[in-house]
A and B are shown apart, each in its own frame.
Chain A
Amino acid sequence: MSDQKMTIHLKIWKQESENSPGRLVDYTMDDVNPDMSFLEMLDWLNERLMNEGQEPVEFDHDCREGICGSCNLVLDGVAHGPYSATAVCQLHMRKYKDGDTIVIEPWRAKAFPIIKDLVVDREGMDRIMAAGGYISVNTGAAPDANSLPIDKYHSEIAFDYAACIGCGACIAACPNSSASLFTGAKIAQLAHLPQGSPERKRRVVMMVDKMAEEGFGDCSNYAECEAVCPAEISITAIAEMRREYVKALSEIS
């Protein structure tokens, strides 16, 4: 715990609405406590702004524990900022030094229109899920949970992919704005589970096609997505997705 105070210079993207022009606005804070989380620093700034009669900065957040996927800030060009495998809500100011300047921007992608300031519309991701990111089983129709043993190896791999928090950092970081890591993670999770098998082909085709339709780009293996993923989803998800897609197409046609 620290009594120390730091001065931090912020350059924050401000934009009234989707179609209005945006710009970086400078703010200086001279009372940043190193134990503050990054979002608490923004709360603190907003409180000051409101007390001075100015407009606060809008940003998305909810759990502040790195699990809901709401927070979405690009810090100095890096989605979720400098601390790897960490959503920006879990980043603390002690990672910075007195006098640092930080540029704060929203996720940027064609498929993510800006709502206001740092808040963007990510609903395209939900539409990809709706296209096939599930196993079709109605409530009440399930057999006993232990009637289907699943070997630990595959169930652990499925979990690694299932850990995706759906924040969209992968898309924001990708030069093509591809949603391949996000989409691939769900496809790969369900491909490793026997329950997912009956719909395997249909699922991958529906989801991949939807991804393109929503305006997300293709993957050209930059691997920027993996580097910024707070849930450490491996890029092998994309390889699995491609394999599933090719297999599905060849078997369907």
Chain B
Amino acid sequence: MTATKNGILNSKVPEGDLHEIWDLHKNNLRLVNPANKRKFHVLIVGTGLAGASAAASLAELGYNVTIFCIQDSARRAHSIAAQGGINAAKNYVNDGDNVWRLFHDTIKGGDYRSREASVYRLAQVSNNIIDQCVAQGVPFAREYGGLLDNRSFGGAQVSRTFYARGQTGQQLLLGAYSAMMRQVHSGKVKMLPRREMLDLVKIDGKARGLIVRNLVSGQIERYAGDAVLLCTGGYGNVYYLSTMAKNSNGTAVWRCYKRGAMFGNPSFTQIHPTCIPVSGLYQSKLTLMSESLRNDGRVWVSKKKNDKRHPADIPEEERDYFLERRYPSFGNLVPRDVASRNAKYVCDEGRGVGKTGLAVYLDFRDAIAQFGVDTIKARYGNLFAMYEKITAENPYEVPMRIFPAVHFTMGGLWVDYNLSTTIPGLYVLGEANFADHGGNRLGASALMQGLADGYFIIPYTLGDYLAENLHTTKVSTDHEAFETTEKETVDRINRLLAVKGKKTVLDLHRELGQVMWDHVGMSRNREGLEQAIQRIAELREEYWSNVNIPGESATYNKYLEYALRVADYMELGELMARDALDREESCGGHFREEHQTEDGEAVRDDENFSNVSAWEYRGDDKAPLKHAEELDFKFVTPTQRSYK
């Protein structure tokens, strides 16, 4: 069912010229005076870049913050694993970059499915992020002259990516973490480790509290506050295998969706082309290899099906460099979604390599011949070493085997220009919201977004809401809304534990992951999506009648934690399939086979789908209702991407 433009989705973007909208908006936002800030209590979930930066910045302003961390330390949040870098429009290299270009590349890279004003603001604050991080002591790469170094990344013709060796996420997170720990020391931030949010408490329609599980004792705890910030990252683990950390999950966003927040573009998933392939059923997660490898590596498979020869025995004329063949002008450097899809196609044809047939070669033979081993080692030494650690193969001698893997979810809870959901008082920051990346995220833009949201946007926009609520009565955790929400959570846990069936959570999660990967993955079609919706419903039934969870709830119990997350994936997966089915076009990472040109390129439908789909929950027994936020392009003109 669809309700278009029904007014629920007010993006709150003010009128004005692109470059002045954010300033105008800031001028109009209400302020909370310092004495009153002390009266407010903000609850934050997740300690990645978005959560840690928001906690630090809000506490510096004088708000009281309680932040919940799923790991034992905030420094372990998933952001720690980001490798490549963070974009900013500094133009330190003098190659013509500016805010407009960063904005334009991000909108275009997202295949024109994001909001102009939000993306422009992201580009505007990008420069402040770099300043802030350097002041915190983040050791970005530098030149001999002592100034900051930049590198280039996919989807851009300028060098605007700041990096810290191959550990940019680690260094940025440690910066935000240290700023937050300073506030822990000052008493403004209370950091609660080993806690998982399991539900949102709403009172009078507003977000007023959380139901949280203490992962050490298993106790269910209640927390009341004046606003809630979800900074819980992406939900890529719905696919079972992904490059996400094992604790990353979708429960927080899903529970809030079920409490009334709209879910934006749930099916928009990024599948990264250069990951280390699956080696067996025991595989627990996938490891990303930086996409910079495609600068020198050539992607190929044999022209013959089921060719079991050693790659060195396959002569040049029998190799198919399929990206170079199909996309002569971009070759191996086509965007992530195009590279991934083409790898899938050759594997579907039976031309995949390695034991499983689910991999393609990324070959450095020619680059080594041209530049010498030393140069290649200097460029990619650490990546080659990591590859060898995992696969026991030496990529200087044998071509790497790579395969696409789920990497990032562009979808997430729908938020307006203030980062507010449709539930007043509930804000979503970072990867958990749907906001800035449209149908496809460019490299080095997620770190930028998480920190923009936390350092430079929420400190302004949250104040506006709190100012309005200065006289709203404080609630206590004895309120009956806490009582009922806690009871629902406890019942859910007990029902799951009581099933005592025959399959492990892992078994059922693997099955769900396979359905998602096959039908809601790189290439989608009506029949497959309809099948997926049905199959997921069956799996969900089986889950609630045949899962086997060990132990009890009132103890440390990792498999119970996991089981609760998978229970939510069993619902979220279906919404993703529904959204993919509904969107009758191909855009960015969302490729519908029905919507392609004769030679297999994506076809967008700007007439009908220049919008964000935002799904409203209406009960477990009813189909969700789709709303659409129309995307009005006033400053850029959408064009069809072509990499031929």
Interface residues of A (CB under 8 A from B): 1, 17, 33, 35-37, 39-41, 43-44, 46-47, 49-51, 54-56, 58, 60-65, 67-70, 86, 90, 92, 94, 115-116, 119, 121-123, 125-126, 129-146, 148-152, 155, 158-159, 162-163, 165-166, 189-190, 193, 195-196
Q: Determine whether B462 belongs to the interface, using a CB cutoff of 8 Å to chain A.
A: no
Assuming the A-B contacts A39-B284, A63-B81, are A50 and B131 also in contact, with contact meaning beta carbons closer than 8 angstroms in the complex? no
Given A64-B284, A134-B178, A143-B131: 5 more A-B contacts, CB < 8 Å: A68-B77, A121-B216, A142-B128, A142-B131, A166-B76
Whole-angstrom distance from the CB of B570 to the nearest CB of chain A? 19
Q: Determine whether B92 belongs to the interface, using a CB cutoff of 8 Å to chain A.
A: yes
Which B residues from 536 to 579 make CB contacts under 8 A with A? 548, 550-551, 555-559
Q: Residues 195-225 of chain B: 1 if any A CB is under 8 Å from the residue's CB, otherwise 0? A: 0000000000000000000001000000000
- Distance between Cα atoms of A50 and B381 in the complex (Å): 41
Residue contact B389 to A141, C-beta cutoff 8 Å: no
Residue contact A68 to B71, C-beta cutoff 8 Å: yes
Residue contact B72 to A123, C-beta cutoff 8 Å: yes
Of chain A, the residue at the smallest CB distance from B92 is A146
Interface residues of B (CB under 8 A from A): 53, 56-57, 60, 71-78, 80-81, 90, 92, 128, 130-137, 139-140, 142-148, 164-165, 167, 170-171, 174, 177-179, 181-182, 184-185, 191, 193, 216, 245-247, 279-280, 282-285, 287, 354-356, 389-392, 455-456, 459, 504, 506-507, 548, 550-551, 555-559
- Distance between Cα atoms of A134 and B179 in the complex (Å): 6
Residues of B near A151 (CB, < 8 A) are 142, 146
Residue contact B245 to A62, C-beta cutoff 8 Å: yes
Residue contact A130 to B181, C-beta cutoff 8 Å: yes
Whole-angstrom distance from the CB of A15 to the nearest CB of chain B? 11
Residue contact A86 to B389, C-beta cutoff 8 Å: yes
Most chain A beta-carbon neighbours within 10 Å: one of B72, B179, B182, B556: B72
Residue contact B73 to A125, C-beta cutoff 8 Å: yes
Whole-angstrom distance from the CB of B167 to the nearest CB of chain A? 7
Q: List 19 A-B contacts (CB under 8 A).
A: A1-B356, A36-B282, A39-B284, A43-B284, A51-B548, A55-B550, A62-B78, A63-B245, A63-B246, A68-B245, A90-B390, A94-B392, A122-B73, A126-B74, A136-B182, A151-B146, A152-B142, A159-B165, A193-B137
- Distance between Cα atoms of A196 and B178 in the complex (Å): 13
Residue contact A150 to B245, C-beta cutoff 8 Å: no
Most chain B beta-carbon neighbours within 10 Å: one of A64, A92, A162: A162
Residue contact A55 to B551, C-beta cutoff 8 Å: yes
Residues of B near A193 (CB, < 8 A) are 137, 139
Residues of A near B354 (CB, < 8 A) are 1
Of chain A, the residue at the smallest CB distance from B174 is A162
- Among A62, A86, A142, A165, contact of B71 (Cβ-Cβ < 8 Å): A62
Residues of B near A43 (CB, < 8 A) are 282, 284, 506
Residue contact B75 to A92, C-beta cutoff 8 Å: no
- Distance between Cα atoms of A145 and B132 in the complex (Å): 8
Residue contact B247 to A62, C-beta cutoff 8 Å: yes
Residue contact A90 to B389, C-beta cutoff 8 Å: yes
Assuming the A-B contacts A58-B558, A115-B556, A166-B73, are A135 and B178 also in contact, with contact meaning beta carbons closer than 8 angstroms in the complex? yes
